[in-house]
Structure 1
Amino acid sequence: MTRTIKIDLFTDTVCPWCLVGSARLDAAIAALPADVSVDVENHPFYLDPNTPEEGVVVADMLRQKYGRDPREMWARVEGEARASGIALDLSLQPRSYPTRKGHTLVRLARAKGTQHALANAIAWAYFMEHRLINDDAVLADIAVRHGYAREEALQAMRDPDELGTTHDLAVAAARQGIQGVPFFIFDNRFAVSGCQPQAVFARAFEVALDPAQAARA
């Protein structure tokens, strides 16, 4: 009998730790036995809800916010990315953009069965292909590879009601106590916060499959 584990995953597509954390989760999923199925549901979160439509220069924002050389902060996540086989260079994507449109496409892709793959693809396009992921045409190009008709994708990310629903969900996530991403909830029972090593996800799956392990730990 196949056992299904549900993971509620909160990320933002302009969060580099989310790019790496999602890749590590996927690697842990790939290592599970064939009789274990994992249902990942992606949820919207805003890394910075105040990002203007034209975006911000990430290096300038980090200097202003933390008073440090952004290259010092980038080095750690770039190193973790390389350890997971991702050749991340954050200096090649200078701007951060609002993510409501992308989140809306991801949210609506749940019914298509392509949600998690689409979320990963948008993040990859931003970080690794250095694309403008607040542009309708760019997002539509990505969406058509994940179950959307082009006009359907364009309509979804221009629909005020759909954008409003996405915004409300992202705000609600922060109000519910999620302060940083990536954030993973396993079977609505326990959470894993941050970009953890793959071994941590493997252990989380062990506990999800045998909750008694948590009591014995």
Structure 2
Amino acid sequence: MHIDIVSDIACPWCFIGIERLERALAETGAEATVTLHPFLLDPDGPDSGTDLRERLRQKFGGDPTPAFANVERAARESGIALDFAKVHMGYPTLRAHTLLRHSVAKGSQRALSRALFAAYFLEGKNIADPAVLAELAAPHGFAAEEVAALVGDARELAETRQEAEHAARNGVRGVPLFIFDGRTALSGAQPEAVFRETIRKAAG
């Protein structure tokens, strides 16, 4: 079984949805190749970050605190200790996605994705900072020099951006999006029961 996931590291529902998928795969014992593809929720944000709460107020209107509480509750149900009190800034994820693209060849994409999500949502780290990315990528097959070269290469970043724009052109409007064997698509952080049933159907 092959599962393609379109997601963004800055998306809490992507963190939750991917964790639910991983739990469902473990519970069903299904073997699957999982490939993550980039989606950029804030494609042009500064590397220094933007005030997350202010940006959400401007985008959606109103206080985002109740929405944060709903996401935190859903995260805890999936074993994620998400605490938005630690997440003050929103950061661009183009560099992180570039590393994820190259981690496929190293066989570490799923593990690196988890590390990036945890660094941002559980520790509030700046995942646009090359030094932070080098630290996070080191256990997943990347030398510091390799990280610096990849995230500092305009052509590499352009290729990642093009892949994200390709997803948008092909109708992806929200993430996470899960595609099973190129046939069955699930949108959003579905309950684990939905993932289990979809996995069983795809495996059958």
Fold shared, TM-score > 0.5 on shorter chain: yes
- Whole-Å Cα distance in 2 between the matches of residues 152 and 64 of structure 1? 37
Residue 131 of structure 2 aligns to a residue in which SS?
helix
Question: What residue number does 1:173 align with?
Answer: 167
Question: What residue number does 1:103 align with?
Answer: 97
Question: What residue number does 1:58 align with?
Answer: 52
- Aligned residue runs from structure 1 range 142-161, under 5 A: 142-161=136-155
Question: What residue number does 1:214 align with?
Answer: none
1:28-48 Cα offsets, whole Å, 9 max, x none, are 111123xx3110001010112
CA RMSD of aligned residues (A): 1.0
- Whole-Å Cα distance in 2 between the matches of residues 150 and 95 of structure 1? 25
Residue 41 of structure 1 aligns to a residue in which SS?
strand
Higher RCO (Cα < 8 Å, 6 or more apart) = 2
Matched AA of 2:23: A
Q: CA deviation at 1:49?
A: 2.0
Residue 37 of structure 1 aligns to a residue in which SS?
coil
- Whole-Å Cα distance in 2 between the matches of residues 179 and 120 of structure 1? 23
- Whole-Å Cα distance in 1 between the matches of residues 168 and 151 of structure 2? 22
TM-score by length of 1: 0.91
Residue 32 of structure 2 aligns to a residue in which SS?
strand
Which of 6, 9, 14 is the matching residue for 2:5? 9
- Whole-Å Cα distance in 2 between the matches of residues 128 and 146 of structure 1? 19
- Whole-Å Cα distance in 2 between the matches of residues 174 and 134 of structure 1? 22
Q: CA deviation at 1:185?
A: 0.4
- Aligned residue runs from structure 1 range 174-189, under 5 A: 174-189=168-183
Does the 8 Å CA contact 2:43/2:94 hold for their aligned counterparts? no
Question: What residue number does 2:16 align with?
Answer: 20
Aligned residues: 204
Does the 8 Å CA contact 2:47/2:129 hold for their aligned counterparts? no
1:77-108 Cα offsets, whole Å, 9 max, x none, are 11100111111111311101110000000001
Residue 8 of structure 1 aligns to a residue in which SS?
strand
- Whole-Å Cα distance in 2 between the matches of residues 132 and 53 of structure 1? 8
- Whether 2:85 is the aligned partner of 1:91: answer yes
Residue 185 of structure 1 aligns to a residue in which SS?
strand
In structure 1, stretches of 5+ residues that fail to align are 211-217
- Whole-Å Cα distance in 1 between the matches of residues 190 and 49 of structure 2? 28
Question: What residue number does 1:215 align with?
Answer: none
- Whether 2:118 is the aligned partner of 1:118: answer no
Which of 163, 187, 198 is the matching residue for 1:193? 187
- Whole-Å Cα distance in 1 between the matches of residues 145 and 28 of structure 2? 37
TM-score by length of 2: 0.97
